[in-house]
């Protein structure tokens, strides 16, 4: 990146709607500042339904993710791993490293090292290693048309764990907080695109009105910096 270029930012998390819940307010701000933004999810959310089969709900959730990304006017990529099957392997790092080489981000935003489920934690470790690997000239991704190696290792940032706590319910304090008060309306509009998840979250997690819950969580973080 030269001094005249705006940063390229890739947000990559485990499932469709994770980005919208956890960091899309900051991404809206960054895009308004001129950054190039792209979204990616490790899976298409193929196990996020108690009524539809895996491929059926995956098709629905890919459309929801693209609809959300379209609101912000950014590309969306799905790496086509499967829910509850994301593993830290050489093959998974190759797939993510190839995406990084194609998107060529200066900044990567991803899941935190400790979270409530293994998909999130595995995503973190795969993305962390891939940020390094993608800049290694002799690291081969085994794609038939591989993208050029990155010129530099991207800067890496982690979002909050869900509800801001670790496995044991202990608070995980953030290193910094972004005021997204002005971005909340668009954040909630984008999250609302994932309408298939309302029934799933109610059944699996006992959560309803997830839009209100996300707004309350964002407000709680905002209070920590006097922004709520």
Domains and CATH numbers, the chain: 8-223 (3.40.50.10320)
Q: What is the mean pLDDT of residues 75-90?
A: 99
Q: Give the separation between CA 89 and CA 36, rounded to whole angstroms.
A: 29
Which tops the pLDDT comparison, 206 or 65? 65
pTM of the model: 0.92
Helix (H) or strand (E) holding 8: strand 8-13
Query: Which pLDDT score, from 0 to 100, does residue 118 have?
Result: 97
Strands of the chain, DSSP E: 8-13, 36-41, 76-78, 107-110, 155-158
Residue 181 near residue 228 (C-beta atoms within 8 A): yes
149: its two tokens: 């190696």
DSSP 165: B
Which tops the pLDDT comparison, 148 or 2? 148
Q: Give the separation between CA 5 and CA 36, rounded to whole angstroms.
A: 10
194 three-state secondary structure: coil
* Pick from 152, 161, 178: nearest CA to 30: 178
Query: Which pLDDT score, from 0 to 100, does residue 228 have?
Result: 60
Query: Which pLDDT score, from 0 to 100, does residue 214 have?
Result: 78
216: its two tokens: 């309350």
Residue 161 near residue 116 (C-beta atoms within 8 A): yes
């Amino acid at each position: 990146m030269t001094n005249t270029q705006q940063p390229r930012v890739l947000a990559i998390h485990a499932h469709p709607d994770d980005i919208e819940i956890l960091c899309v307010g900051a991404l809206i701000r960054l895009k308004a500042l001129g950054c190039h933004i792209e979204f990616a999810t490790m899976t298409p959310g193929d196990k996020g339904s108690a009524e539809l089969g895996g491929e059926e709900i995956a098709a629905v959730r890919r459309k929801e993710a693209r609809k959300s990304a379209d609101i912000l006017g950014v590309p969306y990529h799905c790496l086509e791993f499967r829910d509850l099957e994301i593993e830290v392997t050489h093959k998974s790092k190759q797939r993510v490293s190839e995406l990084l080489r194609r998107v060529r981000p200066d900044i990567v935003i991803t899941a935190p090292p400790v979270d409530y489920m293994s998909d999130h934690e595995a995503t973190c470790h795969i993305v962390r290693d891939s940020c390094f690997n993608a800049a290694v000239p002799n690291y081969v991704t085994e794609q038939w048309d591989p993208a050029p190696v990155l010129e530099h290792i991207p800067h890496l940032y982690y979002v909050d764990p869900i509800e801001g706590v670790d496995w044991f319910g202990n608070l995980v304090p953030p290193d910094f907080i972004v005021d997204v008060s002005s971005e909340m309306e668009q954040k909630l509009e984008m999250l609302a695109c994932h309408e298939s998840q309302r029934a799933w979250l109610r059944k699996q997690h006992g959560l309803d009105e997830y839009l209100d819950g996300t707004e309350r969580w964002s407000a709680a973080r905002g209070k920590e910096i006097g922004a709520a």
